[in-house]
Structure 1
């Protein structure tokens, strides 16, 4: 059994740390690859995890999704197959051993293409299952990730080789413990695929008045079946999902466009400012203005 420790763990940490030399989030020359470094634990932060694989290289993290809690540490991979509102925070980090993480965004079309060419030992059970899976890092996947990060030492090879290694990573994910979740995502007509399509549509239209019967019809399901499958995949009801999207977007509008709470509420689809404030406080723990002020002060402190 592969053990994530010693040489491989040290090499991955060194490769990530070479790019992420100070605390923060880092884009890279490989478009799908993001890195993160943090030298202290963090407060719970609502956010959205999209289709992708997260690997903790060093440290530990907790994710709360619906009623479930994921605790995962260095050497464990986490896959999300749909855009999921979660609450995440770092639980193990220090200046001596900072939290180091990798996010590799995945492309559903590439997953479908590779899955269609592969032979699998077990038939796929097409029932809807949760859109998040956690699996220990295996040796083959670890080696592919090391080779992907090593490309930054040879910039001229990033463009021709990175797509090939990313393709290998998808194949290894499909053949490993994450395989069933990824196969359900791209299996034509499967409940998971239908829910994923609805989720993608909701991300673009959540500010509109939406009828659950229409959403169910778009997924070719009865309303009761739709609600059941949606909760199984996303971890919450469709109405709660829409509410979370609205609140998260309103927060970004207040932070990035300096909108007041009332204007942000209207922009994301709320008709009542008081209802927005109540739900915002319940979700983020503070009223809108106080929460945004705290986030701005924290951002300014980090930059300073």
Structure 2
């Protein structure tokens, strides 16, 4: 680690610490940018991780997708090229050295525009299919994030300068060793782009009955090809993806909106309460009634 890199990391720590005092999450006035703080390790929790670039200034975090685990810290970033239902956990944090992280939501339109402007082709690499990966933080990427967070101190500059810095961050990501993975999914007309469109449909229509054949036809793919590419990118089948979206949404309804178990199961698309309870416990390791009791 160079002295410049460490200095920039220290600046990130100071900036995130400044804006997250007394709160776990700070939605900044910069579109798509959130800051996070935790002063102790957390229990594993399920959530939908938007297509985003996640950087840590201090601490360590683990994200689990299917059967695969991704761990990252101040030297490594995590990015997801698509919205994914994951299980995440802060594994290093303390009051003296809290976990301090930043998440920047990826804009597929800006990414696609960048690829056109810079004429960035992508390689068809069968080893880089999944829409999530961990990569090494470069000095240039670190510096760009410092400049982005510095704009929080001059709100009048955000509207003009923040989009320029975000565009640079996206460019750095596209040019990183993990860039081809992102290019392949972002490129309009590519198979990955079709899967992204399918995921957008599933997120909006998760409570509706799912016909894989109809969705595959809508995406212009055969059922077998759609199934295979969906699993390659997300590490799960379309039905498993829908189920995780449903269960995650149901838990949010129960835990944060004071919704009763039966109503939550119906709202997310379950016709059988017993099936809902069974799959809920299998996914979260506790039953809906146990979650409600803890709350």
1:155 shift after superposition? 1.9
1:210 shift after superposition? 1.1
Residue of structure 2 equivalent to 1:226: 226
- 1:110 equivalent in alignment to 2:105: no
Distance in 1, Cα, partners of 2:187 & 2:104:
22
Distance in 1, Cα, partners of 2:89 & 2:218:
35
Residue of structure 1 equivalent to 2:71: 71
Distance in 1, Cα, partners of 2:18 & 2:231:
41
Residue of structure 2 equivalent to 1:292: 292
Distance in 2, Cα, partners of 1:292 & 1:99:
28
Distance in 2, Cα, partners of 1:265 & 1:142:
43
Residue of structure 1 equivalent to 2:89: 89
TM-score of the aligned structures, taking structure 1 as reference length: 0.92
Residue of structure 2 equivalent to 1:99: 99
Change (3 A) 1:292 1:2: farther
Distance in 1, Cα, partners of 2:2 & 2:107:
27
Residue of structure 1 equivalent to 2:236: 236
- Secondary structure class of the residue paired with 1:124: coil
Distance in 2, Cα, partners of 1:170 & 1:72:
19
Q: State whether residues 25 and 34 of structure 2, in contact with CA within 8 Å, keep that contact through their aligned partners in structure 1.
A: yes
1:169 shift after superposition? 1.1
1:291 shift after superposition? 1.2
Q: State whether residues 54 and 101 of structure 1, in contact with CA within 8 Å, keep that contact through their aligned partners in structure 2.
A: yes
Distance in 1, Cα, partners of 2:125 & 2:76:
26
Residue of structure 2 equivalent to 1:192: 192
TM-score of the aligned structures, taking structure 2 as reference length: 0.95
Change (3 A) 1:143 1:206: same
**Ranges in structure 2 where 5+ consecutive residues have no aligned partner:** none
Q: CA deviation digits over 1:75-111, x for unaligned, max 9?
A: 2111101110111001100111000000001110000
- Secondary structure class of the residue paired with 1:90: strand
Distance in 1, Cα, partners of 2:279 & 2:3:
44
Residue of structure 1 equivalent to 2:123: 124
Residue of structure 2 equivalent to 1:258: 258
Residue of structure 1 equivalent to 2:10: 10
**Ranges in structure 1 where 5+ consecutive residues have no aligned partner:** 297-304
Distance in 1, Cα, partners of 2:44 & 2:3:
29
1:119 shift after superposition? 3.5
Change (3 A) 1:235 1:4: farther
Q: State whether residues 16 and 35 of structure 1, in contact with CA within 8 Å, keep that contact through their aligned partners in structure 2.
A: yes
Residue of structure 2 equivalent to 1:300: none
Q: CA deviation digits over 1:53-93, x for unaligned, max 9?
A: 00011000111101111111112111101110111001100
1:5 shift after superposition? 5.6
1:22 shift after superposition? 2.5
Change (3 A) 1:3 1:263: farther
Residue of structure 1 equivalent to 2:150: 150
Residue of structure 1 equivalent to 2:55: 55
Q: State whether residues 112 and 188 of structure 2, in contact with CA within 8 Å, keep that contact through their aligned partners in structure 1.
A: no
Residue of structure 2 equivalent to 1:202: 202
1:255 shift after superposition? 2.6
Distance in 2, Cα, partners of 1:6 & 1:258:
45
Change (3 A) 1:226 1:99: same
Deviates more, 1:182-191 or 1:162-171: 182-191
How many residue pairs get aligned? The number is 294
Q: State whether residues 65 and 85 of structure 2, in contact with CA within 8 Å, keep that contact through their aligned partners in structure 1.
A: yes
